[in-house]
Structure 1
Amino acid sequence: MRIGQLSERTGVPARMLRYYEEQGLITPRRLDNGYRVYDEHLVERVLKIRGLIDSGIPTRIVSDILPCLGQPQTIVVQNADPALHDLLAAERDRMSEKIEFLTNNRDAISGYLQALERAATPPPAQAG
């Protein structure tokens, strides 16, 4: 797919996709005429990149984290930024808080839906 299609499918502007390419986060194939072609797997990768960047993680760290987002593997860290641990721990804690908040909201909505369903069900007829 072309960059415009990738942009449309991910919601990430083409300019930002070019930046991701400059940073080595995505690598399109090149056709004989020099045009970039973005493979299907890059849609998910771009969404992961965007999520990490939106979380406040800089692209230099995103490139280290990306391989860990796929299949389970042994993670080897070399030359880690000393502030990386604190940054990632804070991000993990923020995500956990958001998950708890969303879980509570989901449960509240489920309870309300059950109450709506009970209210919509006519009471059983009484024998008399």
Structure 2
Amino acid sequence: MRIGEFAERAGVTARVLRHYEDEGLLEPSRTSSGYRDYGPEDVGTVARIRLMIEAGLNTATIRQYLDCVESGSDRMSVAMCPALRDRLDEVSARLDDAAARIDRTRAGIDRLTGG
């Protein structure tokens, strides 16, 4: 299917799809006239890419580990890729640190404002 139809089906814009292709995350086939031609399986790939971006991974990391992420009926699994699990644990730890800094900052603001 062409990029416009596929973008609508995948829930992203055509610009996002081109970006994923530029980053080496998605490689649609091409028609004889050079148009991108997406297959139904590409919808799952886009869903995995979006989930990994939402999890805080950059495109270089996603490119490295995209094949490790399996789609299930209602979730994704990284069980087959321990290195990706380690990266996700690092992201989670950074988020925990950021949340702790936010809490300390709010406490400082409360002390300054008497709140």
Instruction: Decide: shared fold, TM above 0.5.
Output: yes
1:63 partner letter: R
- Unaligned runs of 5+ residues in structure 1 are 78-83, 95-128
- 2:56 pairs with 1:20: no
Equivalenced residues, count: 88
CA RMSD of aligned residues (A): 2.9
Equivalent-residue separation in structure 2 for 1:47 and 1:74 (angstroms): 18
Equivalent-residue separation in structure 2 for 1:42 and 1:91 (angstroms): 26
2:20 partner letter: Y
Equivalent-residue separation in structure 2 for 1:91 and 1:52 (angstroms): 11
Quick one: structure 1 residues 91 and 6, their matched pair in 2 at CA, closer, same or farther if it must change by over 3 Å? farther
**What are the residue-to-residue correspondences of 1:25-104 with 2, within 5 Å?**
25-70=25-70, 75=81, 85=86, 87-91=87-91
Quick one: structure 1 residues 41 and 92, their matched pair in 2 at CA, closer, same or farther if it must change by over 3 Å? farther
1:57 partner letter: L
- Unaligned runs of 5+ residues in structure 2 are 72-77, 96-115
Whichever of the two has the greater Rg, that structure is 1
* Divergent runs of 4+, >2 A: 70-77, 90-94
Equivalent-residue separation in structure 2 for 1:32 and 1:46 (angstroms): 24
Equivalent-residue separation in structure 1 for 2:50 and 2:33 (angstroms): 29
2:46 partner letter: V
Equivalent-residue separation in structure 2 for 1:76 and 1:89 (angstroms): 10
Equivalent-residue separation in structure 2 for 1:4 and 1:90 (angstroms): 36
- Bigger mean CA offset, 16-25 vs 67-76: 67-76
Between the two proteins, what is the percent identity of the paired residues? 37
If the length of structure 1 is used for normalisation, what is the TM-score?
A: 0.57
Q: CA deviation at 1:16?
A: 0.7
